[in-house]
Structure 1
Amino acid sequence: MEKQLAGETMTPVERQVAAWLAGVFSLRMLGLFMILPVFALYAEHLNGSTPALAGLAIGIYGASQAVFQIPYGLLSDRFGRKRVIYAGLVIFAAGSVLAAVSGSIWGVIAGRLLQGAGAISAAVMALAADLTREEHRTKVMATIGVSIGISFAVSMVAGPLLNSLIGVSGIFWLTALLAFGGIAVVRFLVPDPQDERLHRDTQPVPAQFMRVLRDSQLLRLDFGIFALHLILTATFVAVPHALKDLAGLPPARHWEIYLPTMVLGMGLMVPFVIIGEKRRKLKQVFLGAVGLLTLAELALIGFHAGFWSVGVAMLMFFTAFNLLEATLPSLVAKMAPPDAKGTAMGVYASTQFLGAFCGGAIGGWLNGHFGLSAVFQMAALVGLLWLAVASTMKNPRYLSSYLLNVGPQADEAAAARLALTLTGIRGVAEAVVIADDGVAYLKVDRHALDEAALLAHSVTPAG
């Protein structure tokens, strides 16, 4: 992550931007995730529903999200961040209403597809970058990232509880209200940016797509997030049925499985994150988490008919899932070129949502034709394939991204000379200076960095 400049603190406005935009993200992700643990059972009562179509409805949002994720970010450069965010949230709300009022599975599929089309993530990230200084941007992005993780955890528990109170259609209505709440937050609480410009650390740059797509290490991580969300979505095509039909747990009580296993899983993953980062064992921890995820799916194959056995398998699942969700973005940041981090993360996010789509569609089809065990078998096979792919990954360099405001340069030659100078500073491994951006994109060793020498080149030195 980017290192904070010495002596600098976030301004109240920057802290508010981080909090409010994290809230907007959370409201939207709650709407997407809350139906994950409950929809497979709800779909049984919809006209025209089949297990395959139910799985498609669960994952279809990922297809449109993957398609529109990057274009929305590019459109926000042209039409303004807030306008694109408003449009995306309105589309998301419209999809939620369509799903709420639909009595047929096809209507819900259309609603979920429309929900995914309201893909505001890139535009929100760009707005956050516009409103924060370079040296604090990662803290803002980390706040948003944490909010997404919390939203997922809350959704696993809130979904079954709300289902017992207002039903799945009520959850869709609530989701629409949350979207309009997000619009109000952006309109009245988030400041208007004075300058909207490209930020290579948070936004994709079309000219860099091929560079990122040719990077075999980044492609391994893209496959990883694809596999992770395929397994996640496929698992929740099947687990609600297993809990209700085989373990005998009514849907209103499914939270009794999800709450303790999710909370314990989040706690258990923390020491492994510390070991990976502090002791530089990230690859080993990463491979162990992929192996644990695969073991969870293997356990579900043979033991998905019992309350306690499902509980143990889900504890393994959530521990591995939370650990992988935390380490994958860190690995992308470490391996991406310093000036192409935003592009790498954009491709990564798109493959994540594509994985969710494939997990729902394939998982639903397998459930309909071969039963629940086939869904878990497929997920386990994907986990084994991922383990094979990940085992060939290079050990990551333990470098942090570091942004330095150096001011606009006279030309590219001057930018190249400055980059060469910065590379000569102790602890700086890579430096790229874009003349027009006025920003130096660096990869640094935090433990060896001569920050005082680096700050001498900043146009906003600490003080």
Structure 2
Amino acid sequence: MTHSPRPSAQASLPLLVAVTMTGTVALHIFVPALAAAAADLGTTPVAAQLTITLYLVGLACGQLVYGPVSDRFGRRPVLIAGLSLYLAGLLLAIPATSIEVLIVARVLQSLGACGSLVLGRAMVRDVSTATDAARKIAILTMAMTLTPALAPAIGGLVAGAFGWRAVFVVLAAVVAGLAALVVRTLPETNRHPVALPGIGAVAGAYLRLLRNPAYRAYMLAGACAGTSLYAFLAVAPFLLVDRLGRSSQEVGLDCLIVVAGMVVGSGIAGRLAGRMPIRRAARIGNGICLAAALALLAIDRSGALTVTTLLAPLVLYAVGIGLLGPNAVAGLMNVDPHAAGSASSLYGFMQMALGALFTLAVATWHDGSAMPVAVTLMAASVIAALALRRA
């Protein structure tokens, strides 16, 4: 096991925020460069979108492993291993000369990055009470919403100025710096390691969580909220560029505007923590999402789609996600605090698996209109609403 700088149950929340943000930054920062990479590698939009879909698949599958392993060996060494794999994938992507190599690199990135998502949440739960965890998870969620807000804008500027490969150069430098900081300063937070279970025991632990109605409800609702907006991000470069005439830099800024709504919603969630029941706050957030999805569908069918009329309902939808997401996560993490790693892993798997399905659906259905996005967002909201009835 990697030596910890000091045996302490405390961990810097800002550092955990930074760690958690890295989990999806590679997904979002590449979105504005997607069309340029497709053209440079001589591939189709559908093939290029696999770099998004398969990234989500990697995030989904990898998270099932990180939780139980970190419950046994500790959060810190497992996090360091994940960041190392993440960096290797970024370095492979920089010289890629074919879409196949780029896809492999993206999968490696996702398998490393998913450790940041699982372990950031688990480490917060390790050192927090149930009530304090809700507040801190809201902060983590707000930080995670900053990632898809800021990363596309940064990616668009970098790709526009230096080319799409430069996006991975910048991100590799950031991940390397963060890994060094983790090695030097992050303590171990798992004070009660458990024996590493076999595959049957791991599956049994997941089944026990799934048998809990509250866990199932919050997991499904949170997963729908957490990744449904990826349906828009997957087709944003092609919808905004081809249909609405936007540039790569403008696509990044448009994504920034949309995801800024998630920051607002997460801020509201943080203010409501401890003042409103988790279930009620989650249902209000999902109601906002459903209303926004219906508005987007109506706008598209009426033929009134412009940059403004596309972004406005998406911003509102993002506000709903920001309110629903952290409350759902807080609810499911409180079901069994002693299995925080496994609870986080299973949630992460469901979240990214649904995200992959959402992006694959809109990529396959994409017809130049906003209807595939609107219908997907509406379906996610309906699923979440049905789930929350059982919370």
TM-score bin (small chain): 0.7 to 0.9
- The yes-or-no answer on 1:171 pairing with 2:167 is yes
1:86-97 → structure 2 map (5 Å cutoff): 86-97=80-91
- The yes-or-no answer on 1:212 pairing with 2:206 is no
Aligned position for 2:16: 21
Aligned position for 1:98: 92
Aligned position for 2:5: none
Aligned position for 2:315: 315
Corresponding residue to 2:235 among 221, 238, 248: 238
Q: Does the 8 A contact of 1:231 with 1:379 survive in 2?
A: yes
SS at 1:249's partner residue?
coil
Aligned position for 1:69: 63
Q: Does the 8 A contact of 1:40 with 1:240 survive in 2?
A: yes
What CA deviation, in whole Å up to 9, does each residue of 1:221-250 have, x standing for no partner?
Answer: 333334335532221122222222222222
Distance in 2, matches of 1:114 and 1:180, equals 15
Corresponding residue to 1:115 among 105, 109, 115: 109
More strand as a share of residues:
1
- CA positional deviation for 1:351: 0.5
What CA deviation, in whole Å up to 9, does each residue of 1:94-122 have, x standing for no partner?
Answer: 21122222132222211111111113233
Distance in 1, matches of 2:220 and 2:141, equals 20
Q: Does the 8 A contact of 1:290 with 1:324 survive in 2?
A: no
What CA deviation, in whole Å up to 9, does each residue of 1:153-201 have, x standing for no partner?
Answer: 22243232222233321111222222211210111122356956259xx
- The yes-or-no answer on 1:326 pairing with 2:326 is yes
Q: Does the 8 A contact of 2:219 with 2:350 survive in 1?
A: yes
Distance in 2, matches of 1:29 and 1:221, equals 21
- The number of equivalent residue pairs is 374
Aligned position for 2:198: none
Corresponding residue to 1:33 among 11, 28, 35: 28
Aligned position for 2:352: 353
Distance in 1, matches of 2:360 and 2:43, equals 14
- CA positional deviation for 1:75: 2.5
Distance in 2, matches of 1:51 and 1:308, equals 25
Q: Does the 8 A contact of 1:247 with 1:304 survive in 2?
A: no
What CA deviation, in whole Å up to 9, does each residue of 1:240-264 have, x standing for no partner?
Answer: 2222222222221234434444435
Distance in 2, matches of 1:191 and 1:343, equals 20
Distance in 1, matches of 2:227 and 2:49, equals 12
Distance in 1, matches of 2:132 and 2:194, equals 14
What CA deviation, in whole Å up to 9, does each residue of 1:268-319 have, x standing for no partner?
Answer: 6755775796354435413412313422541563458422212323322322
Q: Does the 8 A contact of 1:28 with 1:178 survive in 2?
A: no
Question: Percent of pairs identical after alignment?
Answer: 21
AA paired with 1:170? A
Aligned position for 1:290: 289
Q: Does the 8 A contact of 1:228 with 1:355 survive in 2?
A: no
Aligned position for 1:301: 300
AA paired with 2:230? T
Aligned position for 1:224: 221
**Structure 1 residues 341 and 316, CA, compared in 2 at 3 Å: closer, same or farther?**
same
CA RMSD of aligned residues (A): 3.6
Distance in 1, matches of 2:96 and 2:26, equals 17
Distance in 2, matches of 1:313 and 1:364, equals 20
What CA deviation, in whole Å up to 9, does each residue of 1:22-58 have, x standing for no partner?
Answer: 222234433332123x144234314352232222211
Distance in 1, matches of 2:330 and 2:297, equals 27
What CA deviation, in whole Å up to 9, does each residue of 1:368-423 have, x standing for no partner?
Answer: xx444453254145236425624x614x5xxxxxxxxxxxxxxxxxxxxxxxxxxx
- CA positional deviation for 1:59: 2.0
Structure with more contact order per residue of length (Cα contacts < 8 Å, sep ≥ 6): 2
Aligned position for 1:56: 50
Q: Does the 8 A contact of 1:62 with 1:116 survive in 2?
A: yes
Aligned position for 2:3: none
- The yes-or-no answer on 1:84 pairing with 2:78 is yes
SS at 2:245's partner residue?
coil
**Structure 1 residues 196 and 166, CA, compared in 2 at 3 Å: closer, same or farther?**
farther
AA paired with 2:322? N
**Structure 1 residues 245 and 45, CA, compared in 2 at 3 Å: closer, same or farther?**
same
Distance in 2, matches of 1:16 and 1:232, equals 31
Distance in 1, matches of 2:254 and 2:136, equals 33
SS at 1:254's partner residue?
helix
SS at 1:278's partner residue?
coil
AA paired with 2:329? P
Q: Does the 8 A contact of 2:82 with 2:115 survive in 1?
A: yes
Structure showing greater radius of gyration is 1
Distance in 2, matches of 1:141 and 1:100, equals 33
Q: Does the 8 A contact of 1:56 with 1:357 survive in 2?
A: no
Q: Which runs of 4+ in 1 moved over 6 A?
A: none
SS at 2:229's partner residue?
helix
Q: Does the 8 A contact of 2:290 with 2:378 survive in 1?
A: no
Q: Does the 8 A contact of 1:39 with 1:58 survive in 2?
A: no
SS at 2:43's partner residue?
coil
Distance in 2, matches of 1:207 and 1:93, equals 33
**Structure 1 residues 152 and 380, CA, compared in 2 at 3 Å: closer, same or farther?**
closer
